[in-house]
Amino acid sequence: MYKVIITGSTGMVGKGVLLECLDDASITEALVINRSSLQMKHPKLKELLLKDFTQLESLKEQLKGYDACFYCMGVSSIGMNEAKFTAITYDITVIFADILHELNPNMVFNYVSGTGTDSTATGRVMWARVKGKTENYVLNKGFKDAYAFRPGMIIPERGIKSSTGWYNAVYVVLRPFFGLLKKMKSITTTSKIGQAMIASITADQLKKHLENKDINALAESRA
């Protein structure tokens, strides 16, 4: 039985992960940390609101005793310079990783980045460089286990919508093809990401950077 922390549950990936956790018998508690309320009620669901994530330390006493963190929070780099994107993407993740490692060193920490992330953190593409630096920090922090989830194309399920408007427009066009697309190993779904996250708590995968095909395989291991 596991207690998990989820960030980014107001977004497409995080919401999908949360719904799978609420449905899974092995998860006894899902704690979400958001800036604004989900307006959801469920016996397993706990919610902490924090307007400024740099102040996470103020919640330390409520973050003890958890088995995993599913870090699904993130923003698009469009229109951002590197300093701003780094402050949101890298700096905030470091705060979460540091505090949660101090409180729960035996937890599994899963960080959602994206396909194309640059593990060298030295390439030309700004977002890929920053995401790679963030992945490296999490993977080397010293948790019981840690994974970098790198989804590419994601099909939303269970009524979930993206918080990015143009994504939803694309999904409307592609919806008639969802059934076919879901059969492709190179494409994943919000449900499979959630199932893979749960499986990662005990799966102990040798591969730490998980692309869509790896996410799907890990999700199927729970079947």
CA dihedral 134, 139, 144, 145 (to 10 degrees): 100
Q: Is the pLDDT of residue 39 over 60?
A: yes
Q: Is the pLDDT of residue 169 over 50?
A: no
CB 49 within 8 A of CB 110: no
Helix axes 126-139, 92-103, angle to 10 degrees: 10
Residue 19: what pLDDT?
97
CB 22 within 8 A of CB 44: yes
Reported confidence tier of residue 171, pLDDT bands at 50, 70, 90:
low
Query: Cα–Cα distance between 169 and 48 in angstroms, integer?
Result: 31
pLDDT one-digit tens code per residue, 121-139: 999 999 999 999 999 999 9
Query: Cα–Cα distance between 192 and 115 in angstroms, integer?
Result: 16
Q: Residue range 139-165: average pLDDT? A: 84
Reported confidence tier of residue 157, pLDDT bands at 50, 70, 90:
confident
Q: Model-level pTM?
A: 0.91
Which of 37, 30, 103, 33 lies closest to 65, judged by CA? Answer: 103
Q: Write down the domain spans for the chain.
A: 2-220
Q: Is the pLDDT of residue 161 over 50?
A: yes
CB 1 within 8 A of CB 26: yes
Query: The CATH number of 2-220 is which of 3.40.50.720, 3.30.750.200, 3.40.50.300, 3.30.110.40?
Result: 3.40.50.720
Residue 156: what pLDDT?
86
Query: Cα–Cα distance between 130 and 217 in angstroms, integer?
Result: 27
Residue 35: what pLDDT?
95
Q: In what order do the strands lie in the sheet with 27-34?
A: 45-49, 27-34, 2-7, 68-71, 108-112, 145-149, 209-210
Query: Cα–Cα distance between 172 and 79 in angstroms, integer?
Result: 25
Residue 166: what pLDDT?
46
Provide, rounded to the nearest whole percent, the portion of the chain with pLDDT above 90. 79
Residue 60: what pLDDT?
97
Query: Cα–Cα distance between 208 and 70 in angstroms, integer?
Result: 14
Q: Is the pLDDT of residue 159 over 70?
A: no
